Structure 1
């Protein structure tokens, strides 16, 4: 939420906790999504909370996503989010490029350099709220997912216990929910115990509206893709779509370790394996120790098949990859080392 719990939603997620499958699924819903808000007509989904609070926001999300059940809700004041980051001792992230923005009307001032850094609560809010011209609200979603993933890995562990009194104070002052205390503790403990491979982070399928298409800019939803996603990840009773073949798959390759030869080697391997739709995207400024295979479209199996072709890499399901891809490959130091070793063997 913005400065109070009754305003426009700054970030919206639908979470599914599945103890049987030992899995958590988080679906990010861009706040500019153009939807029908019951009783208020068509508008941006983030206004549902403003018009009717948590009840209307939950109803709108459910209706938009094929009447998926929404059993509980949590609303967190954005200033409380910053206090929570401070209570956790900060969060370390990789900022892919300098983030600078100034809006006096909203009193929003953002100035973050590129690279790996530890953010306090105020800077974490800047990181989460930054909106660039190219990717708009969806760029925000990507940073929010990156921040959530990092928080889960850094802070949801036994070391958090020492900070628990301050964390509970922050939540008590800034949180609105119909979860009981026992339910919150159970869900938090369940998520904390999961390996990152058991946490999927998705993006609600859609596209950016074009200039002049509407008076306002929107994220325009793609109903068929949404039905497939909800069937695959939320067990809605609709037929799951047929997965694209390698010849249809859009694959982005991203360097993080300055290995031009490594990029060429990946492209050659995948082209020979029948993946013709390859594109190289801008490198990341901070090297990764391990190659990541990001299932941008939410299909872990397709990303795993590419991982098997490459022979290494960690598969993650999240929407932080290239937006035009189904799968994004981020080449890490492990790929560079293996490729260097293969060249040395070939040359000897």
Structure 2
């Protein structure tokens, strides 16, 4: 009888030990779950800040918003000279004063507040690692509207105009060169062209990058808050990215001098930036492939009110959302009551998307006389308050 009781006790204890072991295995497995893999499986928007660091400061920061469900993405450029009230410092300054070399946590937290988007992870490249990555990818192709000449380490470097294949050193020349005659919007386009070219090359060379004898060299080039396995999963996922269809958007605002520094203050106290991000995310999440335009639509904006500068200010809003404004002017009348969008392109859905930017409820299909080649014409009325149409 005593032996039977002992045997049962041993079995009971063994069962408890087995359950504990199983529980521990389950917990360890849960802890090892890859966050990128989870996001991809759940088809959740992935927000990644890609930072190019020069001399300990962010020379370029792009917020990449990627949707695994259709491999589409948007890039939002965040200039380092963006002016904000930095609450932690209790002063107005540029956002890059929060940046610590190689450790962008505080900097990215401020970008999160500015954009309203949660930044999941960051990828950081400095000059040497960016150059090495581009060389590893066998160069990137960009379009140069003008010839570039610069001296690097006492060696003259010249880049011809047109489509050019850049190696690492020449890519740095392209990234660091600033033509004094170009506009701020052209500088943004240049930064985004570099990022888009690099992402395109990562797609084209994805199989090569993922090779066991290559990936360790790639992994060492990035500073990131991702673990090694998660970084590899993210770069693998980027191999699916439709790089040529990335929606390019930018932060717009007004430049003002603060204590000798020229700062870019976002329009409408940053609310426009949040609207841009929201529209980008909504478009990416839409399963319809036409949700994100296959082309950059062109706009003509006409002021149908007596408010001076209304059309030009509205042009900046639409440029922030990635549209190309080809003409700004006055409507035949300054007594237009209701704002409308005229579809000259023949795409009702695209016209409605344009109208939604300013909450305009009137979309007309008939063409109106105009010498402009614009796809859509926006006629601003008295119901437009400078940002949205109101009742």
Report the TM range for the smaller structure's normalisation.
0.5 to 0.7
Change (3 A) 1:91 1:30: same
Q: 2:75 aligns with which of 13, 19, 26?
A: 26
Q: 1:200 aligns with which of 243, 247, 256?
A: 247
Aligned: 1:168 with 2:191: no
Gapped regions of structure 1 (runs ≥ 5): 236-243, 251-276, 278-294, 310-326, 330-348
Are the counterparts in 1 of residues 299 and 324 from structure 2 also a CA contact under 8 Å? no
- Find the counterpart in structure 1 of residue 104 from structure 2: 54
Are the counterparts in 1 of residues 192 and 248 from structure 2 also a CA contact under 8 Å? yes
- Find the counterpart in structure 2 of residue 124 from structure 1: 171
Quote the offset at 1:214 in angstroms. 5.8
Q: TM-score, normalised by structure 1?
A: 0.60
CA distance in 2, matches of 1:46, 1:213: 14
Per-residue CA distance 1:307-343 (angstroms, 9 max, x = gap): 658xxxxxxxxxxxxxxxxx999xxxxxxxxxxxxxx
Are the counterparts in 1 of residues 95 and 110 from structure 2 also a CA contact under 8 Å? yes
SS at match of 2:118: coil
Q: Tell me which of the two structures has the higher relative contact order, counting C-alpha pairs closer than 8 angstroms and 6 or more residues apart.
A: 1
Are the counterparts in 2 of residues 24 and 191 from structure 1 also a CA contact under 8 Å? no
Q: 1:248 aligns with which of 292, 301, 306?
A: 301
Are the counterparts in 2 of residues 84 and 171 from structure 1 also a CA contact under 8 Å? no
- Find the counterpart in structure 2 of residue 335 from structure 1: none
Quote the offset at 1:45 in angstroms. 2.0
Quote the offset at 1:22 in angstroms. 3.8
- Find the counterpart in structure 2 of residue 91 from structure 1: 140
Q: TM-score, normalised by structure 2?
A: 0.54
Change (3 A) 1:186 1:25: farther
Change (3 A) 1:95 1:52: closer
Gapped regions of structure 2 (runs ≥ 5): 1-51, 283-296, 304-310, 312-317, 327-342, 348-372, 376-391
Aligned length: 253
Quote the offset at 1:46 in angstroms. 2.5
SS at match of 2:169: helix
Show the 5 A alignment for 1:1-348.
1-2=52-53, 7-20=56-69, 22-40=71-89, 41-50=91-100, 53-66=103-116, 68-100=117-149, 111-135=158-182, 138-157=185-204, 160-161=207-208, 164=211, 165-166=213-214, 168-172=216-220, 174-196=221-243, 198-207=245-254, 209=255, 215-222=260-267, 223-234=270-281, 248=301, 296-298=319-321, 308=346
Are the counterparts in 1 of residues 99 and 107 from structure 2 also a CA contact under 8 Å? yes
Change (3 A) 1:197 1:117: closer
Are the counterparts in 1 of residues 82 and 264 from structure 2 also a CA contact under 8 Å? yes
Change (3 A) 1:135 1:108: farther
CA distance in 1, matches of 2:157, 2:146: 13
Are the counterparts in 1 of residues 72 and 242 from structure 2 also a CA contact under 8 Å? no
CA distance in 2, matches of 1:162, 1:225: 38
Change (3 A) 1:199 1:187: farther
Looking at CA atoms only, which structure, 1 or 2, has the larger radius of gyration? 2
